[in-house]
Structure 1
Amino acid sequence: MFVVKTFRFVQVPLNLQLRTMHLLKNKAYINGEWVSARSDKVFEVTNPATGEVIGTAPDMDVVDAQHAIDSASRAFATWQDTTAKERSRYLRNWFDLMVKNLESLAKIVTLESGKPLVEARGEVFYGNSFVEFFSEETRRIQGEIIPSPVANRKILVEKQPIGVAGLITPWNFPHAMITRKAGAALAAGCTCVIKPAEDTPFTALALMELAHEAGFPKGVVNVVTSSRGNAPGIGNLLCQSPLVAGISFTGSTQVGKLLYKQCSSGIKRLGLELGGNAPFIVYKSADVDSAVKGAMGSKFRNCGQTCVAANRFFVQSDIYDSFVEKLTNEIKALKIGNGEEPDVQVGPLINQAQFEKVTTLVQDAVSKGAKVLVGGKGAPQHGRLFYEPTVLTDIKDDMRVYSEEVFGPVVNIFRFNTEEESVAMANNTERGLAGYFYSRDVSQIFRVARKLEVGMCGVNEGMISTAEAPFGGVKESGLGREGSHHGIEEFTYVKYVALGNL
């Protein structure tokens, strides 16, 4: 049984509304209990739109993390033996509760990440879809019987859960990155220790409250919160603990490489969804209006702070002026502000470090000759972490924006003449997560889709993520896939059983 609480949101500040919500937790969740750090230390979480303190969360360290790992390991002993139908029911219960509490979850996402409320609702809907999908997919984790070369022998193959999974998630999608990982791990029969980003712990804890209400046994799902200072130690413990069978991480390529190295001593199963540098190519045959619409959706969702955001725009000379003019006009019309306010389309950057990074990249480009068509500076009238949606042209290869992921509301536009030139420029990066291009030339569509060095390709489409499709990249954008049936494969191993003398 569960009770869905209702709230009146009439001229009441969002942070005050949330203080009455049963989903807003200020303790971590380990072994089915709400706990403080052993040290009793806490860290503050602030609203990036206002700078106000939302609340505090436990500042846990490796001692607390070890408690969570031990709890997950004990729980795995019995959770791995549950039937697919039983796991499906737990996940479905969790999904149903998340649907019923969508608005409360969205408000928490907006409060701690800064994204507009309409986007937060979209993220929760998207994140929920992974739990729904994996609640169904758990009953389709199938083995096989392989024809034997020996008459009296049977070759059986089955998939089994790997064990305890350490899930390290980012701040830009605090709901969806947890559900995409945990949904697959739990469906496979694994138990989880989740380490959410220090900027956005409350969404993770809200999800744990709903998991608790859904009836998951103690220790099956655990959340360890910590400040930025304690995060490296906890990450290292998850990577090196013999009780943790696999790590799934979403974040920067730099941190991903460190975790890769730390996991090597234990030869752990490793899933890495790392940084991107997505090209967005517009060919002369494209529907320009459609391309502009796709560019806006791909670039400015969450203030450009998405790993699949279009980062480098390549536009063919024939339509360059038309595309740039239409895109710039659309960008000028964007409404900036606090995500709580109606009709806001662009919120703040997540923290001061991210604001300084975006500012530095733009200043570097301008100092080397880039032209600013719109924006190009902070927007302090809205708050200290707001940055104006920006368009830069005349980009050169010695500018940092040419090779670095901006992770902010900045459009960098390049001009090209031939298809070969566009593909070479698009592939001239160490990253290969997502890529986009617009064309109405069928032959060109198949050529370019094959040649782009990315794990995901949007053709005449700027929004490509869905629970049913495999999410992941190539080159330095990571290892493995999330979502789809491939997502479950990351949390299973294949066992071969030979039955002889039959």
Structure 2
Amino acid sequence: MTTRKHAAGAGDALAALVTAEDAQGGATLEVTSPFDGAVLAVLPRSTPEDAERAVARGREAQREWARRPVRERAAVLERFGALLIDHRDEMLDWIQLESGKNRASALEEFADTVLWAHHVARHAPGVLRERRRAGAFPVLTHTIERHIPKGVVAVIAPWNYPLSLPIGDALPALAAGNAVVVKPDSQTPDTALFALRLLREAGLPAGAAQIVVGAGRELGPALTGHADFLMFTGSSATGRILAQECAERLIGFSAELGGKNPLLVLGDADPERAAEGAVHAAFSNSGQLCISVERGLVHADVWGRFVPALVERTRALRLAAGTTWDADMGSLAGEAQLRKVTAHVRDAVDKGATVLAGGHPRPDLGPYFFEPTLLADVAPDMRVFSEETFGPLLSLYRVDSDEAAIAAANDSEYGLNASIWSGDVRHARAVARRIRTGTVNINEGYAAAWASHDAPMGGMGASGIGRRHGAEGLLKYTEAQTIAAQRLIPIAGPSSVSHERWGTALTWGVRALRRLR
């Protein structure tokens, strides 16, 4: 175990980056590792007044930052991606020690952030450039579309992906010319602080990106009350509250929220391949992933081969704490997650569900470990049937047809992600087009769609509003502006021409434009 050795003095260096130097109360936040409870850092706890001051500082810095050419801003992000690679092992340590995930999951998060930084840096100049648009009248009207930054963007992020969520959402906002104030989860601030240090080393002005540390219920209202846009990742319940606060001020709001994501194993799927994919789709990051699968809808034709293969692979997963590469799955992030997973399993078993694998906490490995768990015979009266667990728990349901699988997949208030397994991609695409989720992965769990950075990612229904990634994930941090210049003849007509004569000419022109367009 490297927790205590790593923590010694490392958190103190990051504490200086917290935007709370001018706090009067002197309150602190102790950050501990879920692996063993070791103290990683003691950070100054930000107050609502600190958050307000951070927004004010960001507003000052944003004006100068926005005046820089887009390519210059993009170059900072490109350098940041290179610095991430240079500091890979240190960043992986921070991700693991704060979140409890295994190193392979940490690497997945790290690689995603590096590639996303590169994508934003490469594509932002093209997405944000001024574009000529068709004017009201050819030759007479010259029209351009441009995109200007919102101002100060607040990013409120959860603990499960402490690098890719707070920093990944900040990068396109910065590229668009905004300043950002990030509030990482109180459990995982050091990862974001370390990334902030690298951003500043890459050339980002100090006021353009700031971090405040503290409870969301305390700092959230200060951010929604003063920022110009809010990006939030978290629960649907909290998302609804924040959406209302943003609506009061008529500021923009984007959110990725909860999910109860289905995995569809169609009748023509390879059972062995599907079982291998399902293990990663359900138990990566200890199941603490908004887009991981929690409902396995398995066609009767492959049930008898798929389920035993899945059980075998699930039972073979290696659980361990620490920053080595040995573990297939790490710890849950904390006491709250352990209680919820335990409660869902107990409720299901008490009401008649069958445990096919796992089902128990593992305090011998660490305080918050829970075995990867498979359930069958799950009924609608069980909590796990419709509630998001957000842990290493997959419920399996036998279906008799594609129609039944599609109906079950769509029978949810959520609509974030789906995974479809089939030996015929054309067949799977036809099924995918009928699934009401923001992303659908074919013969993959979640990574194919998430890592397609050129395409939008987000949820339907209770799973969110707005999109990250793609052009939409960049343009949402801007205001569209149209500038139109009229030449030679005003649209209202020359003053020397009567209304009737101008009306005749205008009607002729409208008819001609309809044919041309």
Deviation at 1:481, TM superposition (A): 1.1
Change (3 A) 1:178 1:440: same
Query: CA deviation digits over 1:259-309, x for unaligned, max 9?
Result: 001101111111101111110010110011221121111111110000001
- What is the distance in 2 between the residues matched to 1:371 and 1:282? 20
What is residue 57 of structure 2 aligned with on the other side?
71
What is residue 233 of structure 1 aligned with on the other side?
218
What is residue 121 of structure 2 aligned with on the other side?
135
What is residue 481 of structure 2 aligned with on the other side?
495
- What is the distance in 1 between the residues matched to 2:141 and 2:36? 68
Q: Is the 8 A contact 1:87 1:138 kept in 2?
A: no
3-state DSSP class of the match of 2:390? coil
Q: Is the 8 A contact 1:23 1:206 kept in 2?
A: no
What is residue 153 of structure 2 aligned with on the other side?
165
Q: Is the 8 A contact 1:131 1:179 kept in 2?
A: no
- What is the distance in 2 between the residues matched to 1:70 and 1:384? 41
Partner of residue 4 from structure 2, selected from 5, 9, 15:
15
Aligned pairs for 1:55-134 (under 5 A) are 55-134=41-120
What is residue 419 of structure 1 aligned with on the other side?
402
Deviation at 1:19, TM superposition (A): 3.1
Letter in 2 for 1:240: G
Aligned pairs for 1:168-247 (under 5 A) are 168-226=156-214, 228=215, 231-241=216-226, 244-247=227-230
What is residue 307 of structure 2 aligned with on the other side?
324
What is residue 515 of structure 2 aligned with on the other side?
none
Query: CA deviation digits over 1:212-249, x for unaligned, max 9?
Result: 211211310000011x3xx21211111122xx210001
Query: CA deviation digits over 1:313-359, x for unaligned, max 9?
Result: 01011111211100000011111110324411111111111110111
Q: Is the 8 A contact 2:57 2:207 kept in 1?
A: yes
Change (3 A) 1:89 1:310: same
The worse-fitting range, judged by mean Cα deviation, of 438-447 and 385-394 is 438-447
Partner of residue 26 from structure 1, selected from 6, 11, 15:
15
Q: Give TM-score, length-normalised by structure 1.
A: 0.93
Query: CA deviation digits over 1:376-434, x for unaligned, max 9?
Result: 11111112211111111011111111101111111100011011111111101010000
3-state DSSP class of the match of 1:203? helix
Query: CA deviation digits over 1:22-66, x for unaligned, max 9?
Result: 995124434xxx836432111111110112222212211101101
What percent of counterpart residues are identical?
A: 32
What is residue 270 of structure 1 aligned with on the other side?
253
- What is the distance in 1 between the residues matched to 2:433 and 2:38? 48
Q: Is the 8 A contact 1:277 1:405 kept in 2?
A: yes
Partner of residue 134 from structure 2, selected from 127, 147, 154:
147
Partner of residue 242 from structure 2, selected from 253, 259, 267:
259
What is residue 4 of structure 1 aligned with on the other side?
none
Q: Is the 8 A contact 1:18 1:24 kept in 2?
A: no
Gaps of 5+ in 1: 1-11
3-state DSSP class of the match of 1:454? coil
Q: Is the 8 A contact 2:167 2:192 kept in 1?
A: no
Query: CA deviation digits over 1:466-494, x for unaligned, max 9?
Result: 13332211111111111222210110111
Q: Is the 8 A contact 1:103 1:121 kept in 2?
A: no
Which structure's residues are more often helix, by fraction? 2
What is residue 8 of structure 1 aligned with on the other side?
none
- What is the distance in 1 between the residues matched to 2:13 and 2:362? 30
Q: Is the 8 A contact 1:37 1:60 kept in 2?
A: yes
Deviation at 1:368, TM superposition (A): 0.8
Partner of residue 428 from structure 2, selected from 423, 428, 445:
445
3-state DSSP class of the match of 1:346? coil
Letter in 1 for 2:132: I
Query: CA deviation digits over 1:67-92, x for unaligned, max 9?
Result: 11011011111111110121012112
Corresponding position: 1:365 with 2:348: yes
Letter in 1 for 2:218: G
- What is the distance in 1 between the residues matched to 2:143 and 2:49? 44
- What is the distance in 1 between the residues matched to 2:56 and 2:169? 20
Q: Is the 8 A contact 1:395 1:402 kept in 2?
A: yes
Letter in 1 for 2:418: G
- What is the distance in 2 between the residues matched to 1:425 and 1:122? 30
Letter in 2 for 1:325: P
Q: Is the 8 A contact 1:23 1:209 kept in 2?
A: no
Q: Give TM-score, length-normalised by structure 2.
A: 0.90
Q: Is the 8 A contact 2:320 2:326 kept in 1?
A: no
What is residue 322 of structure 2 aligned with on the other side?
339
- What is the distance in 1 between the residues matched to 2:293 and 2:89? 29
- What is the distance in 1 between the residues matched to 2:12 and 2:85? 13
Q: Looking at CA atoms only, which structure, 1 or 2, has the larger radius of gyration?
A: 2
3-state DSSP class of the match of 1:176? coil
